[in-house]
Structure 1
Amino acid sequence: MTYLDYAETDLNNLDAYWTAKEIQQQPLVWEKALANLIANKTQIDAFLKPILAIKNLRIIFTGAGTSAFVGTSIVPAVSASLGLRVEAIATTDLVSNPREFFQADVPTLLVSFARSGNSPESVATVDYADALLKECYQLAVTCNADGELFKRCSGKNKFALLMPEETNDVGFAMTSSFSSMMLTALYLFCPTDDFRQKLQHSIFATESLINSHNTALKAVALKKYQRVIYLGSGVFRGLAQEGALKLLELTDGVAVSSFDSPLGFRHGPKAIVNNQTLVMLFVSNNPHTRKYDLELLKELQADQEVGQIVVVSAQHDSQLIADESVVLQGMEKAQDIFLLLPYIVCAQIYAFQHALAIGNTPDHPSSSGTINRVVQGVHIHVL
């Protein structure tokens, strides 16, 4: 069996087996995640529908690190879909400043995302919310049935939703866990009658991306750019943040990464660009938004300062003249929320290939051992 064009033996020698497998398996895992949601739809609806009907409801998406970026990515789409007050606030912010973020008199649905569910902040956020909010509802979306978060989110006004077993990534970096939790949140909070059909298009596009663009992304990674910037508008800004973290994690900080929106990037952050900089631009399918994305592409090309640009798009366009274009198959008319899945796989593949290019070990990338799969050293203090 091969993963990302590497034989299992080679991946084991590179300490990269799990990361490669967990990136490539995602289309199959998404099908399992959707089947899981459909199988549990009655119980999920019984919990969620009455809550979403509450007047003045506030929804907070939370998590730590990559788990937090699930919420950051989908907030714009969920806000538009539900017409409610929806925010993404990381557990790492909620725990340190709970009284500033929680509003006691506002009915709140706290949606916690977590791979292991054992991060101290994940558990503390559940407890702080119960203590500070007069009307609190909690939904946990997690990949680990043995985790503290899953155990605590059962009982009155709480619901724990478990992802398929394969999503509990063995590798250091969250890959299957991130995308599957994001898919789940979209299913729950951006409902559409043809969700299954649209997801199938995302699955096909992702499989085609893995088969058709892995080699090109590896070739870009072999150039070992010192700086990599991820840019995206709307839902893709949060995705850009996750892409930047993946590269930082898997290269053990050797490649310095950052993120922004295409418009925000012009307001100072563009100073980072030099000939050792790679820019990965996630292009929107929204006609209005896409204009701004392509304007920045033109500007970067005209500046002639950047080392290389990788454009990730669902549409062929005469303006998409870049050093490397990853154009998805069959997604020309897709909503941006269904581009989130293949787009993040593109970023994951690049981070994996960059790590190998510099001789790092993706499954255990922290050479010092000071960065852990589940954060350590955090002491939770009594309110």
Structure 2
Amino acid sequence: MLVVDKSHKILGLGEEQLDKAGAGLTAREVAQQGEVWPAIADLLASRRADIDAFLGPLLARPDLRIVLTGAGTSAFIGECLAPALLRRGLRAEAVPTTDLVSGPRLFLQPAVPTLLVSFGRSGSSPESVAAVALADQLVTDVHHLVITCNADGELYRMAQGRANALALLLPDATHDRGFAMTTSFTSMLLSAALAFGALGADAVAAPSAAAPRLQLAALPLLQALVEQRFGRVVYLGSNALRGLAREAALKLLELTDGQVVALFDSPLGFRHGPKTIVDEGTLGVVMLSNDAHARRYDLDLLRELRNDGRAGRVLALSGIAEPGLGADCVTLDDMADADDLALALPYIVFCQCYALLQSLALGLRPDTPSVSGTVNRVVRGVTIYPYQGENDVSGR
């Protein structure tokens, strides 16, 4: 079921109009997320016994290394999740499959017990499949948790019938048919957060209610941002929200076919050189943390960017209402006490909406935004070479 208003519009546009513009798939997948997330919570609750039986003994091992992996957007799930797992005392690292495949002995430790957590919308990206095979080849004691949206994907099939593997197959609604990962990203992130206990089931209701409200309430602001035609957009977030900022930047790059330059950083890191990109054609978006300590740094950078007067506009996304944030702020209702992982879900919906509307304004077709056809929904053209050890000279 879709999250739409009574006029059957999504972001102010009729579904027929969106379909004709080549945006229907992406628009529906962005809009549906508030309804999909409770279904994810129900699914995880129904699999709780299996998850605990698999993860419980592993997480009890003090020497366990958790490697969160995926390619592109799927890799950024790990970047969002890793800080929360570290906070729980777990040894967790986000390592993209694209790094694991090109440098297996740099990122896989043969003697260290490892849980490889693989995220994949299709589950058939060449690097994702190769990363599992390399972990099996190189790590003596390895286990696999696969979180995917596709029952026909290779990752899901590879996990079947293996004592050292568990696969969580998400509902078909999460398997985005549009080019850009939207529902799949948030659903896999939420699934992993619930599986590892980084979020409790009671944390799902607030973002699920906030997302559809946000799409309606923020529509005038989103339309105004699109009309300003920013050539550069910078997304900033601390800790878990830094990974989210990276995903927001990629979404804008993808859906605008690279016509809008999008960057990401942490608020503290941005001052160390990247801030030089800011000019009058730049939109800055600061994703404010609900963590009191991190938020101080976020607010400092927000004020600094506004006081500099160089950016075309500086917007804040916040779960906490406070007067000092000014008019250029999107505040989410009932999210003041939310963990940043829960806050991330409606935050990214706002960013997805902006990317979608900007894509349409540029005359692109968001469901298939690559005009040249050189960038594809499932990556093509990757040759996977067999790994023959550190003394491999086959490529010389």
TM-score (norm 2): 0.94
Candidates 261, 268, 271, aligned match of 1:263: 268
Q: CA deviation at 1:203?
A: 1.0
**Residue aligning to 1:241:** 246
Candidates 87, 98, 110, aligned match of 1:80: 87
In 2, the alpha carbon distance for the partners of 1:57 and 1:87 equals: 11
**Residue aligning to 2:340:** 336
Does the CA contact (< 8 Å) of 1:77 and 1:190 recur in 2? Answer: no
Give the 3-state SS of the residue equivalent to 2:98 in structure 1: helix
Give the 3-state SS of the residue equivalent to 1:159 in structure 2: strand
Q: CA deviation at 1:148?
A: 0.4
The amino acid that maps onto 2:58 is: I
**Residue aligning to 1:123:** 129
**Residue aligning to 1:207:** 212
Segment drifting more, 324-333 vs 265-274: 324-333
User: 1:126-141 residue pairs with structure 2 within 5 A?
Assistant: 126-141=132-147
The amino acid that maps onto 1:210 is: Q
Q: CA deviation at 1:2?
A: 2.1
* Runs (5+) with no aligned partner, structure 1: none
Candidates 33, 37, 48, aligned match of 1:26: 33
User: 1:5-44 residue pairs with structure 2 within 5 A?
Assistant: 5-44=12-51
The amino acid that maps onto 1:286 is: D
**Residue aligning to 1:313:** 318
The amino acid that maps onto 2:144 is: Q
Q: CA deviation at 1:333?
A: 1.7
Does the CA contact (< 8 Å) of 2:80 and 2:341 recur in 1? Answer: no
**Is 1:296 aligned to 2:301, yes or no?**
yes
Q: Deviations over 1:322-343 (max 9, x none)?
A: 5x21100011122212101111
**Residue aligning to 2:187:** 180
When residues 190 and 44 of structure 1 are mapped into structure 2, their CA distance, relative to the original with a 3 A threshold, is closer
Give the 3-state SS of the residue equivalent to 1:137 in structure 2: strand
Does the CA contact (< 8 Å) of 1:232 and 1:282 recur in 2? Answer: yes
Does the CA contact (< 8 Å) of 2:282 and 2:311 recur in 1? Answer: yes
In 1, the alpha carbon distance for the partners of 2:105 and 2:183 equals: 33
Does the CA contact (< 8 Å) of 2:286 and 2:315 recur in 1? Answer: yes
Q: CA deviation at 1:208?
A: 1.4
* Runs (5+) with no aligned partner, structure 2: 1-7, 388-396
Q: CA deviation at 1:6?
A: 1.2
Does the CA contact (< 8 Å) of 2:85 and 2:198 recur in 1? Answer: no
**Residue aligning to 2:353:** 349
**Is 1:281 aligned to 2:286, yes or no?**
yes
Q: CA deviation at 1:55?
A: 2.7
In 1, the alpha carbon distance for the partners of 2:282 and 2:216 equals: 26
What's the Cα RMSD here? 1.0
**Residue aligning to 2:384:** 380
When residues 191 and 253 of structure 1 are mapped into structure 2, their CA distance, relative to the original with a 3 A threshold, is closer
The amino acid that maps onto 2:109 is: Q
**Residue aligning to 2:106:** 100
In 2, the alpha carbon distance for the partners of 1:36 and 1:140 equals: 15
In 1, the alpha carbon distance for the partners of 2:356 and 2:299 equals: 27
Percent identity of equivalent pairs: 49
Q: Deviations over 1:57-97 (max 9, x none)?
A: 0000000000000000111111102x121000000000000
Candidates 169, 174, 193, aligned match of 1:167: 174
Segment drifting more, 235-244 vs 34-43: 34-43
In 1, the alpha carbon distance for the partners of 2:291 and 2:49 equals: 33
Does the CA contact (< 8 Å) of 2:84 and 2:198 recur in 1? Answer: no
Q: CA deviation at 1:102?
A: 0.3
Does the CA contact (< 8 Å) of 1:294 and 1:319 recur in 2? Answer: no
The amino acid that maps onto 2:378 is: V
The amino acid that maps onto 2:37 is: W
Q: CA deviation at 1:215?
A: 2.7
Give the 3-state SS of the residue equivalent to 2:316 in structure 1: strand
Give the 3-state SS of the residue equivalent to 2:204 in structure 1: helix
Give the 3-state SS of the residue equivalent to 2:378 in structure 1: coil
**Is 1:251 aligned to 2:245, yes or no?**
no
Does the CA contact (< 8 Å) of 1:315 and 1:331 recur in 2? Answer: yes
TM-score (norm 1): 0.97
In 1, the alpha carbon distance for the partners of 2:211 and 2:27 equals: 15
In 2, the alpha carbon distance for the partners of 1:180 and 1:265 equals: 29
Which 4+ stretches in 1 moved above 6 angstroms?
Answer: none
The amino acid that maps onto 2:121 is: R
Q: CA deviation at 1:191?
A: 4.5
In 1, the alpha carbon distance for the partners of 2:208 and 2:73 equals: 21
Does the CA contact (< 8 Å) of 1:224 and 1:358 recur in 2? Answer: no
Q: Deviations over 1:324-367 (max 9, x none)?
A: 21100011122212101111111111111111121111100000
Segment drifting more, 357-366 vs 167-176: 357-366
Q: Deviations over 1:304-334 (max 9, x none)?
A: 1000112100111122025x21100011122
**Residue aligning to 2:331:** 327
Q: CA deviation at 1:196?
A: 2.6
Does the CA contact (< 8 Å) of 1:141 and 1:181 recur in 2? Answer: yes
